[in-house]
Amino acid sequence: MSFLEARGGLVIGFVTEYYTSNAYSPVQDVADSCRTGAATNVIFGLALGYKSVIIPIFAIAVSIFVSFSCDW
């Protein structure tokens, strides 16, 4: 079952890279929201942070479900 956990880890790594690297749009959007004020930046950053954990949570949940449901 280690291949499943490895794939889940890769998904988490790629999603983390997407949401934290300045080469991708989420970080650039946060930087753009700084122009309108501090409150907008805080709200946008919190919303993006909440959005960025959805895919890793599903990856962990699927890995746990599959590993407990399969009798390998």
pLDDT in tens, 3-22: 778 888 999 999 999 999 99
Domain range list for the chain: 1-70
Instruction: Give the global pTM.
Output: 0.81
**What's the start-to-end Cα distance of the chain, in Å?**
8
Of all residues in the chain, what percent carry a pLDDT higher than 70?
94
